[in-house]
Structure 1
Amino acid sequence: MKRILFTSTLAAALAAALFMTAHTVTAAPEGAPAPYRHVVLFKFKADAPKEKVAEVVKAFAGLKEKLPAVLSFEHGLNVSPEGINDGFTHVFTATFKDKASLENHYLKEPAHEEFVKLIKPVIEKVLVVDYVANFVDHGAH
């Protein structure tokens, strides 16, 4: 019994060590600031017209062209098979140089304020999460 317990413990420890060595979380590449991500999820009202939803998506994507602080932008629909999205259907991610860029050159800009006015009539719920990106180095040892 002790041998089985020892072997199981050793196998688990080796597996954990291999995983940790193969997947090292690192900071941004040397000399580069870590990107600041702004993730927004929308739950539209049940009666929101499809045309209005499409207008909101297009307007959100259009903020990248209007606001140079947005370094990159992507969006998509929730496709998770887990069924725990709480009704959030649309996901948007904008990347900024840093938190100050988001706060001073995005959130306070008239284009963003107009966008917020546009979405209010059709949005039931919004979830926003910001984070500083870490990078996973699969080859670190």
Structure 2
Amino acid sequence: MEEAKGPVKHVLLAKFKDDVSPEKIKELINGYANLVNLIEPMKAFHWGTDVSIENLHKGFTHIFESTFESKEAVAEYIAHPVHVEFANLVDV
């Protein structure tokens, strides 16, 4: 089967620990959103809270979606030093 062409989505589901303040969550979300300005392969970023009416969220509370032009661009993003630095901050 031929690989589909077009945008590639990278989705992250998250659950913040109970002791993480709403202010810290907002700070982390803003930091994540800012990566689109710092990492060229990242073309778009969207996020929201999970309101699974089917109760399939398995405890996850937030959804983060990044858009890239290719799977190779996702790999470049994952290895990018700015992403690695940000990812090391997130242990919540």
The answer, yes or no, to whether TM exceeds 0.5 is yes
Equivalent position of 1:78 in the other structure: 50
Consecutive unaligned residues of structure 2, counting only runs of 5 or more, are none
Distance 1:44 1:87 in 2: 10
Equivalent position of 1:90 in the other structure: 62
Q: Which amino acid aligns with 1:112?
A: H
Distance 2:88 2:26 in 1: 16
State the TM-score, normalizing by the size of structure 1. 0.59
Quick one: which of 53, 73, 80 aligns to 1:101?
A: 73
State the TM-score, normalizing by the size of structure 2. 0.88
Identity of aligned residues (%): 38
Query: Which one has a bigger Cα radius of gyration?
Result: 1
Equivalent position of 1:113 in the other structure: 84
Consecutive unaligned residues of structure 1, counting only runs of 5 or more, are 1-26, 123-141
Q: Which amino acid aligns with 1:115?
A: F
- Which secondary structure state, in structure 1, belongs to the residue aligned with residue 82 of structure 2? helix
Q: Which amino acid aligns with 1:75?
A: W
- Which secondary structure state, in structure 1, belongs to the residue aligned with residue 15 of structure 2? strand
Residue by residue over 1:113-138, the C-alpha shift from the partner in whole angstroms, topping out at 9 and shown as x without a partner, is 11111111x1xxxxxxxxxxxxxxxx
Residue 98 of structure 1 deviates from its aligned partner by 0.6
Residue 103 of structure 1 deviates from its aligned partner by 0.5
Residue 68 of structure 1 deviates from its aligned partner by 1.3
When the two chains are superposed, the root-mean-square deviation of aligned CA atoms in Å is: 1.5
- Which secondary structure state, in structure 1, belongs to the residue aligned with residue 57 of structure 2? coil
Is structure 2 residue 12 aligned with structure 1 residue 40?
yes
Q: Which amino acid aligns with 1:94?
A: S
Distance 2:20 2:44 in 1: 28
Distance 1:57 1:76 in 2: 10
Residue 75 of structure 1 deviates from its aligned partner by 0.7
Equivalent position of 1:62 in the other structure: 34
Residue by residue over 1:21-75, the C-alpha shift from the partner in whole angstroms, topping out at 9 and shown as x without a partner, is xxxxxx97xxxx3211100111111111111111111111111011111111111
- The alignment covers a number of residue pairs equal to 90
